[in-house]
Protein backbone atom coordinates (compact mmCIF):
# COMPACT_ATOMS: atom_id res chain seq x y z
CA UNK A 1 0.00 0.00 0.00
CA UNK A 2 1.80 3.09 -1.25
CA UNK A 3 -0.86 5.60 -0.26
CA UNK A 4 -2.49 8.30 -2.37
CA UNK A 5 -0.09 10.09 -4.69
CA UNK A 6 -0.49 13.40 -6.51
CA UNK A 7 1.48 14.96 -9.31
CA UNK A 8 2.86 17.56 -9.57
CA UNK A 9 3.45 18.65 -6.00
CA UNK A 10 3.84 22.28 -7.01
CA UNK A 11 2.70 24.18 -10.08
CA UNK A 12 3.30 27.82 -10.92
CA UNK A 13 1.42 29.12 -13.93
CA UNK A 14 0.50 32.42 -15.49
CA UNK A 15 -3.06 33.65 -15.48
CA UNK A 16 -4.98 32.36 -18.46
CA UNK A 17 -3.01 29.14 -18.85
CA UNK A 18 -4.50 25.66 -18.48
CA UNK A 19 -3.22 23.23 -15.85
CA UNK A 20 -3.86 19.56 -15.17
CA UNK A 21 -3.27 17.63 -11.97
CA UNK A 22 -3.18 13.90 -11.47
CA UNK A 23 -4.21 11.76 -8.52
CA UNK A 24 -3.47 8.07 -8.04
CA UNK A 25 -5.63 6.60 -5.26
CA UNK A 26 -4.86 3.61 -3.08
CA UNK A 27 -5.17 0.74 -5.51
CA UNK A 28 -8.17 -1.07 -4.04
CA UNK A 29 -10.17 2.11 -3.35
CA UNK A 30 -13.10 2.68 -5.70
CA UNK A 31 -14.03 6.16 -4.40
CA UNK A 32 -11.98 9.24 -5.19
CA UNK A 33 -12.50 12.79 -3.96
CA UNK A 34 -11.09 16.21 -4.86
CA UNK A 35 -10.93 19.07 -2.36
CA UNK A 36 -9.50 22.58 -2.51
CA UNK A 37 -7.83 24.32 0.42
CA UNK A 38 -6.91 27.99 0.55
CA UNK A 39 -4.44 29.38 3.05
CA UNK A 40 -5.67 29.25 6.63
CA UNK A 41 -8.93 27.50 5.75
CA UNK A 42 -10.18 23.94 5.91
CA UNK A 43 -10.51 21.96 2.68
CA UNK A 44 -13.68 22.37 0.62
CA UNK A 45 -15.27 19.55 -1.34
CA UNK A 46 -15.09 19.81 -5.14
CA UNK A 47 -16.20 16.49 -6.59
CA UNK A 48 -16.11 12.74 -6.18
CA UNK A 49 -16.12 9.56 -8.22
CA UNK A 50 -17.24 6.04 -7.59
CA UNK A 51 -15.26 3.96 -10.05
CA UNK A 52 -15.41 5.98 -13.28
CA UNK A 53 -18.71 7.73 -12.53
CA UNK A 54 -18.62 11.32 -11.32
CA UNK A 55 -21.46 11.36 -8.79
CA UNK A 56 -21.40 14.85 -7.35
CA UNK A 57 -19.91 18.23 -8.19
CA UNK A 58 -19.78 21.24 -5.87
CA UNK A 59 -20.95 24.65 -7.00
CA UNK A 60 -17.31 25.67 -6.43
CA UNK A 61 -16.48 23.70 -9.56
CA UNK A 62 -17.07 26.33 -12.23
CA UNK A 63 -17.23 25.61 -15.95
CA UNK A 64 -13.48 26.12 -16.11
CA UNK A 65 -12.91 23.02 -13.98
CA UNK A 66 -13.27 19.48 -15.22
CA UNK A 67 -12.42 16.19 -13.57
CA UNK A 68 -12.19 12.73 -15.04
CA UNK A 69 -11.51 9.20 -13.91
CA UNK A 70 -11.62 7.34 -17.22
CA UNK A 71 -10.81 3.81 -16.10
CA UNK A 72 -11.84 4.02 -12.50
CA UNK A 73 -8.22 4.23 -11.36
CA UNK A 74 -6.31 7.53 -11.51
CA UNK A 75 -8.10 10.86 -11.85
CA UNK A 76 -7.22 14.18 -13.44
CA UNK A 77 -8.41 17.66 -12.53
CA UNK A 78 -8.06 20.31 -15.23
CA UNK A 79 -8.44 24.04 -14.75
CA UNK A 80 -8.80 26.08 -17.91
CA UNK A 81 -7.99 29.78 -18.19
CA UNK A 82 -6.59 29.95 -14.68
CA UNK A 83 -7.30 32.96 -12.50
CA UNK A 84 -5.41 34.24 -9.47
CA UNK A 85 -8.30 33.09 -7.30
CA UNK A 86 -7.55 29.51 -8.31
CA UNK A 87 -4.33 29.62 -6.27
CA UNK A 88 -4.79 26.96 -3.60
CA UNK A 89 -3.78 23.48 -2.49
CA UNK A 90 -5.69 20.81 -4.41
CA UNK A 91 -6.11 17.66 -2.35
CA UNK A 92 -7.16 14.22 -3.48
CA UNK A 93 -8.51 11.48 -1.21
CA UNK A 94 -9.70 7.94 -1.67
CA UNK A 95 -11.80 5.44 0.21
CA UNK A 96 -13.68 2.19 -0.22
CA UNK A 97 -16.66 0.54 1.46
CA UNK A 98 -14.15 -1.44 3.53
CA UNK A 99 -12.75 1.77 5.04
CA UNK A 100 -16.26 2.60 6.34
CA UNK A 101 -16.04 6.13 5.05
CA UNK A 102 -12.51 6.88 6.24
CA UNK A 103 -10.78 8.97 3.61
CA UNK A 104 -7.04 8.85 2.97
CA UNK A 105 -5.46 11.98 1.56
CA UNK A 106 -2.56 12.57 -0.76
CA UNK A 107 0.16 15.21 -0.28
CA UNK A 108 -1.68 17.76 -2.43
CA UNK A 109 -0.74 19.91 -5.39
CA UNK A 110 0.06 23.54 -4.58
CA UNK A 111 -1.06 25.80 -7.43
CA UNK A 112 0.17 29.37 -7.70
CA UNK A 113 -1.31 31.55 -10.43
CA UNK A 114 0.75 34.68 -11.17
- Asked if 41 touches other proteins (CB under 8 A), the answer is yes
Instruction: Give yes or no for a contact between 55 and 49, defined as CB atoms under 8 angstroms apart.
Output: yes
The secondary structure of 29-84 as a DSSP string is --EEEEEEE-TTS--EEEEEEETTEEEEE-TTS-TTEEEE-TTSS-EEEEESS--G
- Asked if 91 touches other proteins (CB under 8 A), the answer is yes
Distance of closest approach, residue 111 Cβ to other proteins, in angstroms: 13
- Asked if 48 touches other proteins (CB under 8 A), the answer is yes
Which stretches of the chain bind other proteins, using CB under 8 A? 4, 6, 31, 33, 35, 40-45, 48, 50, 55-56, 91, 93, 95, 100-108, 110
Amino acid sequence: DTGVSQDPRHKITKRGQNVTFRCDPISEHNRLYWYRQTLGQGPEFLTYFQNEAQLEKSRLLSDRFSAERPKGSFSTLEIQRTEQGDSAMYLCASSSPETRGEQYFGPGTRLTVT
